[in-house]
Amino acid sequence: MNRRAFLGALAATAAVSACTPSASGARPPRAERRTGAPASSAGLLLVTDFGADTVTFVDPATGPVESVRAGTAPYGLAVGGDGRAWAAAAEGVAVIDTGARRRTALIPYRTSPARLGPPAYGEYRGGGTGVALAPDGRYAYVGVNVPGGNGVLEVVDTAAREVVRVVPVGRRPFDVDVSRDGSEVYVTGHDSFDVTVVPARGRPRRIEVAPYGTEGGLGSWLKPHYLAVRPSDGRLLLPFEGERLVVADPRTGRSRVEAMTADTHQHGVAVTPDGTLFVVGTGPVDPASGRGPSLTVRTPDGRERVHPLDGPHEDVAVSRDGRTAYVSGGFTRDGYWDGLTVVDVASGGTRRLPAGRRPLGVVVL
């Protein structure tokens, strides 16, 4: 059976999105608070603890340093040049002073709690998902999942610390990214097979991103998850199944497909200033034919190195020198674990590092 036929059969039995929830609404224990931390956070990693209510500072050599309360099940994470981190939790956007290591605000969403539901855990919980910052730091952009319907993008004025705009977007906005000049925001709609382009001025527009088609609807595995904005030309890069890379022009809505080689279900992405793309593979959709978890390192000319990983992962951040990748083990589905895999980009060598509770988003401070 070929991949599309297999996935079509699988989708026919699915009642909800294929990324299956793995956590109940019960509150898990809070992450442990560590003491004796160094005075500066420079050189540390910061992760969101999707299985708790914290973000955790992580020493890339030894593991967790300190955990700071953020909000319920924080998902996406972004850090500005001023050292403030913005974490998208279920009930609001947490603002973390990474120097003082404390939460300074929890900004509630403008979307009503009645639509979002009570703060909860698991992939399908209402509330914040992807988050990004404007290049000048004036705005934080947060994708908000509205259970049972389309999501919204909430725009936060970072000085006033309040939501100043709400824009309808696609269903389950996994990822949010910003153009290099800050003129547009890109919101990946996981369950609607699209990217919503939100300009600073003007009407939003939808780009369908479905290189395998939209057959199967909510039950399909072949949906977009995360994207990266290519530094050289602003094109949007969206990987699918370790087989296809959609390269979309956000201005025209046109796209082309390039071949990929990992042959695995893909989630998180990152891109370095030179255009090297890092893509997290979570494991095969069809165990009979696909390959296991991996990290793909793709150069701008399309050459790929695929480094195997031990177990599922979700997102990735890259050191400033481009030599090391940090891949979060949180994962939005079953199989997650409480740590990061540290990957030597040149050799593919790996080591595991403990890091909070179900770490999902990860950034380098």
Would you state the structure tokens that stand for residue 128, as one six-digit string? 């914040």
What element of type H or E holds 10?
A: helix 3-12
248-274 per-position pLDDT tens digit: 999 999 999 999 999 999 999 999 999
C-alpha span between 240 and 107 (Å, rounded)? 34
Q: Could you say which DSSP state residue 263 is in?
A: -
Sequence-distant contacts of 36-39: CB under 8 A, at least 24 apart? 37/65, 37/66, 37/101, 38/65
147-175 per-position pLDDT tens digit: 999 999 999 999 999 999 999 999 999 99
Average pLDDT, the chain: 91
Residue-range definition of the domain harbouring residue 339: 43-364
Give the bridge partners for 297, in sequence order. 278, 305
Residue 15 lies in a domain: no
Residue 66 lies in a domain: yes
What is the number of structural domains in the chain?
A: 1
Residue 318 makes CB contacts below 8 A (sequence gap 6+) with: 270, 272, 278, 324, 325, 326, 345, 364
297-333 per-position pLDDT tens digit: 999 999 999 999 999 999 999 999 999 999 999 988 8
3-state helix, strand and coil shares in percent for the chain, rounded to the nearest 5: 5, 40, 50
Would you state the structure tokens that stand for residue 52, as one six-digit string? 């708790």
Residue 27 lies in a domain: no
pLDDT value of position 40: 67
Residue 352 lies in a domain: yes
pTM flag (> 0.85): yes
Q: What is the mean pLDDT of residues 121-146?
A: 97
C-alpha span between 226 and 69 (Å, rounded)? 26
Residue 24 lies in a domain: no
Residue 7 lies in a domain: no
Residue 50 lies in a domain: yes
Residue 164 lies in a domain: yes
Other C-beta atoms lying within 10 Å of the C-beta of residue 12: 10
CATH number assigned to the domain comprising residue 178? 2.130.10.10
C-alpha span between 37 and 48 (Å, rounded)? 18
C-alpha span between 56 and 69 (Å, rounded)? 9
